Amino acid sequence: MSGGVDSSVAAALLKKQGYDVIGIFMKLWTEDRSGLSTTLEVKENICCSAEAATTARAVADKLKIPFYVVNFQDEFKKSVVDYYINEYEQGRTPNPCVICNRDIKGELLMKKVLDLEADFLATGHYARIDSKNRKYHLLESKDKNKDQTYFLWQLTQKHLSKLLFPVGEYSKSEIRRLAAKWHLPTAERKESQGICFIPDRNISRFLRRYAKKMLKPGPIIDTEDKKIGIHSGLIDYTIGQRERLGLGGPKANFVVKLESSINTLVVGDEKDLYSKTLFADSLNWIVTPPRKKTIGGKIRYGHRIEKCKIKNLSNKIKIEFVKPQRAITPGQSIVFYQREEIVGGGVIKESLK
């Protein structure tokens, strides 16, 4: 229970379905700026602040269920935040929510609830689970605009056998209406946006405090290896970016690559952003992957699912899209769908024309 409306309604739904429910609130890492030379206001993560904990406890009291607080600050810092910073320093754009769902919720929190002799861990994710022939299938939520399965591709059969996603059968508006109907304290609480451990949503400012390797200026080159400018530090750029490149002139330039090993920013025309082929590793298959078959692939959250084919290599896979995809970004996830089922995914390593 994060103190948000989704996890609150998830608990209420389960109780109404006859489950014996307990609420667990996770205290995760919050940046300590006390030793920093900054006048920035210290903001707690909206999902695990003192206010969120108070709200979550109020929901538990309303539902008359036990409430526990667990402290995962150190584990979250090491597994999620340090990973996030390191990936940026390597010139990649990571997805910390994927790692959190696997390592923090899927492992640490799961172990905690099983130690409490619970049968299942339920969360407020917009997703669904179905089981057939002793296999568990991860499905998109009924509300496609809120679907969160893209962030859940690292889950395994073991995880899914112990997980429940009660809100996956509802739309967001229905969840809000249920919260109001049941007079839950979270009925009108605003949603958290962006990365939870960067509550002011300023990724560049956060990385400037921690990813020092990314602060050094360096050359900007075009796709013909010609030097055309100086960048202010790779920390300020992402693939597909057009604004704030400092190049001037009438020509539109777009970031097409970050060469972190030589501290170089590569820019080109918009056409240079499109690729049909990518390579991925760190694979996880929730169910048996398809063989020589067209499948749906999504290269980032909010992106459309596009048709592609998968070729297995020795330690990675090659994905070929039917249509060129814009701004394929190393570090992001490629997630595979068969109709409404998520069959697995991987981490994007590189793309080719």
Which residues are catalytic, by number? 100, 196
Q: What are phi and psi of 320, to 5 degrees?
A: -115, 120
CA-CA distance, 122 to 7, in Å (whole number)? 8
Pick from 343, 295, 308: which is nearest to 154 by CA?
343
CA-CA distance, 103 to 159, in Å (whole number)? 11
Query: Could you tell me where the DSSP H helices lie in 66-147?
Result: 73-76, 82-89, 96-99, 110-115
Looking up tokens 């689970």 gives 129
As given in the structure block, the two tokens for residue 226 are: 């010609």
Mapping DSSP to helix (H, G, I), strand (E, B) and coil, where does residue 20 land? coil
Mapping DSSP to helix (H, G, I), strand (E, B) and coil, where does residue 107 land? helix
Torsion sign over Cα 110, 114, 120, 121:
negative
Euclidean distance between the first and the last CA atom of the chain, given in angstroms as a whole number: 45
CA-CA distance, 222 to 77, in Å (whole number)? 37
In the chain, the amino acid numbered 137 is: H
Burial, 22: exposed, middle or buried (Cβ in 10 Å; 0-12, 13-18, 19+)?
middle
